[in-house]
Amino acid sequence: MLAIMSFTLNRVYTEWYRNKFYDFTITSSTAYDQKWVNGRNVFESISNVVDEIFDNYLSRPNVKQPILTQYCDGKRVTCPNRLSQWGSKYLGDQNYSSIDILRYYYGQDVYINAAEQISGIPYSWPGTNLDIGSSYDDDGVFGVLNAKMHIKYGFTHEQISKMQNYTLDETIEACRGTHAAVG
């Protein structure tokens, strides 16, 4: 369940489809995301587990976004080096715990994180394209980018303020590296 939820939340959080200029956040196709059929019957036991862990997702240290937890069933579709439903069952039969199974497939640094708040669907595009010559206050474009840097990378508002004079390469390096480089 955590792999399914993390995969879906990663698509939403990173605006994966919107960044490819689609006007939706998630599909309803198992070939790409998750299948959802409104009103479809569900097993009560599964529904209870989802309700219990709804705000949980898989993450890595110092990264707020849910990791892209790709997986497959392992029978009809195989996915080498990725979590599979049947591979997970096999590990469970060997007394692996659920977190050990997740770490087997996604790395030892993966852990279960909890969302502080779940509401709405994020949408960071302010409605105006960022063009050459745009100024800091043009249509709130940079305010949205600053908010995105705060949410996605964990920069404080003070750090973002210092970065306003950075070149594009310096900003990218700050996002890739540690926050200590910004102060």
pLDDT digits (tens, 9 = 90+) for 69-99: 888 888 888 888 888 888 999 999 999 999 9
Other CB atoms within 10 Å distance of the CB of residue 30: 11
Residue 81: its pLDDT value, please? 80
Q: CA angle, 56 as apex, 51 and 57 as ends, to 5°?
A: 130
Residue 113 to residue 121: CA distance in whole angstroms: 19
Say if residue 14 is exposed, middle or buried (CB neighbours under 10 Å; 0-12, 13-18, 19+).
middle
Residue 140 makes CB contacts below 8 A (sequence gap 6+) with 126, 128
Question: What does the pLDDT average to over 21-50?
Answer: 75
Above 80 in pLDDT, residue 23? no
0.85 exceeded by pTM:
no
Residue 11 to residue 4: CA distance in whole angstroms: 11
Alpha-helical (H) ranges within the chain are: 2-13, 44-53, 85-93, 98-106, 141-153, 157-163, 168-176
DSSP category for residue 34: -
Which among 24-28, 74-78, 109-113 has the top mean pLDDT? Answer: 109-113
Confidence of residue 146 (pLDDT cuts 50, 70, 90): low
